[in-house]
Each structure stands twice: as C-alpha cells, then as structure tokens.
Amino acid sequence: MLIDSYDRVVDYLRISVTERCNFRCQYCMPEKPFSWVPKENLLSFEELFLFVKVAIDEGIKKIRITGGEPLLREDLDKFIKMIYDYDPTIDLAMTSNAYLLKSTAQRLRDAGLKRINVSIDSLKPEVAQKIAQKDVLADVLAGVEEARAVGLKVKVNMVPMKNMNADEIVDVLEYCKERDMTIRFIEYMENQYASKEISGLKSDELLAILREHYEFEDEGFDGASPSRYYRMKDGYRFGIIEPYGDDFCKQCNRIRLTAEGNLIPCLYFDEAMSISKSIKEGDIAAAAEVLRDVVKNKPEKNRWGGEDSESSSRAFYETGG
Ligand SMILES: Nc1nc2c(ncn2[C@@H]2O[C@H](COP(=O)(O)OP(=O)(O)OP(=O)(O)O)[C@@H](O)[C@H]2O)c(=O)[nH]1
Ligand SMILES: C[S@@+](CC[C@H](N)C(=O)[O-])C[C@H]1O[C@@H](n2cnc3c(N)ncnc32)[C@H](O)[C@@H]1O
Ligand code: SF4
Ligand code: SF4
C-alpha cells in the first residue's frame, strides 16, 4: 500500500497520455503551445504499462487517462486493454473533450474502460466554438450519446465563465439531469496559458444562480473527490469543484504521471520526479523506488489560497487537470 507522510493512502493514478489537443479552449491553451514535447520524449504505451503494473502492485486501485486530449493518442484502446487484463478490478476512467468519442466509445468500452468524464461548456454551437476555438458541439454531443449507448458511466465537467457561458448553467445542468449524468461545475483557475479575457464564476455566484431555480442540500465531499456535492429534492446530485480550495486535500489520494514520465505529487507543485530513465532501462525496482519517493514527499496541501498564495507554472493540458 502507498501511504504518504500525512497517513493518506494514495491509490489513484492520473495518467496524461499526451499534452496535445484538438481544441484550444480559451481557459486552457488559447494559442498553439509552441513547444510540444517531441514525440520521441513520450513514453510508449508498453513503457507506460510497465509503470502501471508497478503502480498497481504497489496499491493503485483507480486509474484515469487524461491529457491534453487522450483520444488523439493512437491505440489508446489497446493501452486500456493492457491495464484491464492486468487487473479488471481497477476503476478505469478517462477525462476527454468527447470530440472523437462517437467513433471510439465502443472500442474503449470493449477494452475495459468503465467511466468517462467529458467537458461540455456550452450547448450553443457558437458559444462552444468561441470557447474551444473550433466548431465542436455536434461531435461532442454525438460522442456523449454514443458513450452512454455503449454503457459507459458519464460525468460532465463545465467551467462557467462570465460573458461566455454563465447564462447556460441551468441548461447544461438540465441536459445532464435528463440523462442522469452528474455535472460538476469547475471554478476557472487562472494560469499563464489561458486567455487574459476570462473571468470565471466563483462557487457562491454559481450557487446563487442555481438557488433561483432549485432547492438543494449541501452533502459535502464524497470520499477523496475535490468536488463538493449538492442534492436536489428529487435526488439528482451536482457538484462544484473549487480547485483553489484545500478542504479536500486532507483526503487526497492521487498522484499524476505526464506523458514524458514525470511523476507529480500534487496538482499544485512544480516539482516532479521522472520515471522515464528507469522505465526505458526496464529497471522496475528503480521505478518503484521513485514512486514510493514521490508518495513519501507528497505535500499536505496546495498553497493556492491563503496569504502566501502561490501559482503553479504547469499547464492544465500537461498535467491533465
Ligand atoms: N485542486 C485539485 N483539483 C483537482 C484535483 N483533481 C481534480 N481536480 C479538479 O477537478 C477537475 C475534474 O477532474 P476529473 O478529471 O473529472 O477527475 P475526478 O474529479 O477525479 O473524477 P471522478 O473520479 O469522477 O471523481 C480537474 O480538472 C481539476 O480542476 C486535485 O487533486 N486537486
Ligand atoms: C486539461 S483537461 C484534459 C482532458 C480533456 N481534454 C478535457 O477537456 O476534458 C481536464 C479538465 O481540466 C479542466 N480545465 C482546463 N483548464 C482549466 C482551468 N483553467 N480552470 C479550470 N479547469 C480547467 C477542463 O475543463 C477539463 O475538465
Ligand atoms: S481543456 Fe481539454 S479540450 Fe480544452 S484545450 Fe485543454 S486539454 Fe484541450
Ligand atoms: S491540490 Fe494537491 S494535495 Fe490537494 S487534492 Fe490536489 S493533488 Fe491532492
């Protein structure tokens, strides 16, 4: 079992399989990043799988594939099948923009994917296009329907922004509610890669809008998730994620791996340790040692809020959110 120095069990590994993306969401990467990691620096799926086996053997029970856009990476279903075949009990999930999901959902499901969290920021084609800087909505929604049709459990993430999609909070919630998909509203996090024009809605502003339409109760955090959940009278649950907060850090159970093999102890911290060399040399014992070191050195919480607040220079598309 992987236990950090604050007695937290780390059993959740988020793997960003690529930092590349077919969208240019204004809150994430409005311009084409000029320094993509060269392909030769990426770990192959065989190499990533070597590490996944180490991680599962050490106690990882939940794996999320993310990016950039994970569906851009060829043969992703084969990687998922490798993980599933090694341990079918793993909570195997993905976070995706859903654009390529219509043609891939069945294969992903057959390979062993269980759940998918998709980003839907708007149900208006022109607004979705403005945010992603590409005409994406029809494909995204077709992808979501296909994912549900093949039996994947779907959650939706939305980043509400003023003068952009804030007036659609209720519409997107209703779209999800009708389909029994949980929606989580994510507070926009400022970062050096995002468009300077963006102003995100804070959770109290969001809640005030939602209270005009619904009655609901605060259920607090659910396990180790950074999302606070709210339950409506009819039982439907939605979530709000305040990534700047740290209430949920005491339950933190996760570490992150980038496509180049950097193991990140916390979403906030810039420090990372590379498993690339040991994995490329097939030195499993050394990779396991790095994993244990990263867990041991996991910080207690982020330092985004509070008086000495700091910002992280790492991009969301690199860490996978
Ligand atoms: N501060 C902080 N925010 C996080 C962390 N993990 C996820 N988030 C936020 O939550 C957003 C959505 O995360 P997802 O990729 O959907 O994964 P998840 O919330 O673990 O998903 P579930 O397993 O379905 O609960 C991310 O983009 C981040 O904004 C974390 O460890 N710390
Ligand atoms: C980096 S994306 C990677 C997966 C996939 N491309 C997607 O968009 O779902 C993961 C999550 O990060 C969120 N995200 C990206 N930039 C963000 C920001 N500046 N503030 C809050 N959430 C952000 C996205 O909305 C998405 O839900
Ligand atoms: S949020 Fe996801 S879809 Fe949008 S640019 Fe970032 S990685 Fe791509
Ligand atoms: S901010 Fe860091 S410590 Fe807090 S939940 Fe996220 S990864 Fe864990």
The H-or-E segment that residue 155 falls in is strand 153-158
pTM strictly above 0.90: yes
Measured in degrees and rounded to the nearest 5, phi and psi for residue 228 equal -90, 135
- Give me the number of domains the chain comprises: 1
Annotated binding residue at 189? yes
Residue 190 lies in a domain: yes
**Residue whose entry in the numeric block shows the structure tokens 């992280």:** 312
How many degrees, rounded to 5, is the angle at CA 123 between CA 117 and CA 128?
A: 85
Contact 243, 186 (CB under 8 A): yes
Check the CA dihedral 50-51-56-61 and report its sign.
Answer: negative
Residue 68 to residue 29: CA distance in whole angstroms: 10
9: exposed, middle or buried (C-beta count within 10 Å: 0-12, 13-18, 19+)?
middle
Tokens of 317: 């598309």
Contact 57, 285 (CB under 8 A): no
The H-or-E segment that residue 182 falls in is strand 182-186
Which pLDDT tens digit goes with each residue over 41-82? 899 999 999 999 999 999 999 999 999 999 999 999 999 999
Residue 2 lies in a domain: no
DSSP string covering 225-249: -SEEEEEETTS-EEEEE-TT--GGG
Residue 7 lies in a domain: no
Task: List all residues 6 or more positions away from 85 whose beta carbon is below 8 Å from its beta carbon.
Answer: 112
* Residue range of the domain that includes 106: 12-315
pLDDT at 306 over 70: no
Which pLDDT tens digit goes with each residue over 92-147? 999 999 999 999 999 999 999 999 999 999 999 999 999 999 999 999 999 999 99
Which pLDDT tens digit goes with each residue over 205-249? 999 999 999 999 999 999 999 999 999 999 999 999 998 888 899
Contact 27, 198 (CB under 8 A): yes
- Write the CATH number for 50: 3.20.20.70
Residue 278 lies in a domain: yes
ipTM over 0.90: yes
DSSP string covering 87-132: -TTSEEEEEE--TT-TTTHHHHHHHT--EEEEE---SSHHHHHHHH
Residue 172 lies in a domain: yes
**Ligand 1, CB cutoff 6 Å, lining residues:** 64, 66, 93, 95, 117, 155, 157, 186, 225-227, 241, 243, 254, 267, 302, 321
Maximum pairwise Cα distance, the chain: 59
Nearest to 16 by CA among 249, 311, 267, 279: 267
**Ligand 2, CB cutoff 6 Å, lining residues:** 21, 27-28, 66-67, 69, 95-97, 119, 157, 159, 186, 188-189, 191, 194, 316-317, 320-321
Residue 193 lies in a domain: yes
pLDDT at residue 39, rounded to an integer: 84
Contact 269, 294 (CB under 8 A): no
Residue 298 lies in a domain: yes
Residue 5 lies in a domain: no
Residue 149 to residue 293: CA distance in whole angstroms: 42
Tokens of 306: 């509070």
